[in-house]
Amino acid sequence: PAERLPKPDWIRTRAPAPSSRFFEIKAILRENALTTVCEEASCPNIGECFGKGTATFMIMGDKCTRRCPFCDVGHGRPDPLDPAEPERLARTVAALNLRYVVITSVDRDDLRDGGAGHFAACIRAVRAATPSTRIEVLVPDFRGRLDAALDALDAAPPDVLNHNIETVPRLYGPVRPGADYAHSLALLERFKERHPEVKTKSGLMVGLGETDDEVEDVLHDLRAHGVDMVTIGQYLAPSGAHLPVRRYVTPDAFARLRDAAEALGFAHAAVGPLVRSSYHADVQHAQADLD
């Protein structure tokens, strides 16, 4: 196994002491049998996010049909869709009194529409229960079933459509097997064509072996495909069995990437070591809305 790079100071997070809100959220999640990415992906921000009442829900089970070597989500044969899940999700969002919710899923390459119809059902259920809650969906790539997926999402478009490009095209083979860079850009562009009023968003991880210039090229491509918001954060290996961290991007280098993103005209760019796709998503969306 590759030697592990020591974690620099700016990565070490001091986990805040879990607040009562943190435990309350965990209890409500378990009661409603809901999974969060925050827990599944061992997100370093969980103390802060749960403490503030933010969470990213993972629908359609916790078993992915793909196996990306940077990802800590389990894989295997997925469970059948639970038709009661949209209601449970809506109840939970209402119980947690969330103003802003991020809904994501594992890849469901086994479903005809990739699960887009289930996303739409969840959006509809949350809108019906708490109409003022803003909804961001972080969707898989729907590869091979994009037309059916876009049609399904037309029935209930979200407030923000997020799809992560994850890494630079040169590293797609080792990092995103089963995905395709041009396809992911096409998903973002085609959704925007259908819903010009809905913000689109994408994100990538750095530290997997890409150069800063390659990241800037991706930023160009995202803007060229109409993407409004971007997130860039440091990749952290969930375990020794996952892809190793090739470099820790310095805060200065992150600042340069943020400047590059802003110069390209993104309505919002969240760029920094601990930034995750859903980190401060409510703030990102609110700021993008101001422009």
* Cβ nearer to ligand SF4, comparing 106 with 187: 106
Q: Is 285 in the site for ligand SF4 (CB under 6 A)?
A: no
What is the spatial distance between Cα 249 and Cα 237, in angstroms, rounded to a whole number? 14
Interface residue with ligand SF4 among 29, 59, 60, 64 (CB under 6 A) is: 64
Q: Is 234 in the site for ligand SF4 (CB under 6 A)?
A: no
What x/- string results for residues 136 through 155 when contact with ligand SF4 is judged by CB under 6 A?
A: ----x---------------
Q: State the nearest-atom distance from the C-beta of 43 to ligand SF4, in Å.
A: 3
Q: State the nearest-atom distance from the C-beta of 99 to ligand SF4, in Å.
A: 13
- Please state, in angstroms and as integers, the Cα–Cα distance from residue 128 to each residue in 90, 94, 125, 218, 252, following that order: 8, 10, 5, 37, 44
CB 179 within 8 A of CB 138: no
Q: Is 66 in the site for ligand SF4 (CB under 6 A)?
A: yes
Span from 41-49, 127-135, 149-157, 180-188 in contact with ligand SF4 (CB under 6 A): 41-49
* Cβ nearer to ligand SF4, comparing 228 with 282: 282
What is the spatial distance between Cα 189 and Cα 154, in angstroms, rounded to a whole number? 15
Helix (H, G, I), strand (E, B) or coil at 10: coil
Amino acid present at 61: G
Q: Is 71 in the site for ligand SF4 (CB under 6 A)?
A: yes
Closest CA to 191 of 241, 154, 243: 154
CB 65 within 8 A of CB 78: yes
Amino acid present at 223: R
What is the spatial distance between Cα 157 and Cα 142, in angstroms, rounded to a whole number? 16
What is the spatial distance between Cα 42 and Cα 44, in angstroms, rounded to a whole number? 6
* Cβ nearer to ligand SF4, comparing 235 with 248: 235
Closest CA to 146 of 105, 206, 188: 188
Q: Is 220 in the site for ligand SF4 (CB under 6 A)?
A: no
* Cβ nearer to ligand SF4, comparing 191 with 279: 279
Tokens of 105: 């899923």
* Cβ nearer to ligand SF4, comparing 36 with 200: 36
Q: Is 101 in the site for ligand SF4 (CB under 6 A)?
A: no
Interface ranges with ligand SF4 (CB under 6 A): 37-38, 43, 45-46, 49, 54-56, 64, 66-68, 71, 73, 106-107, 140, 276, 278-279
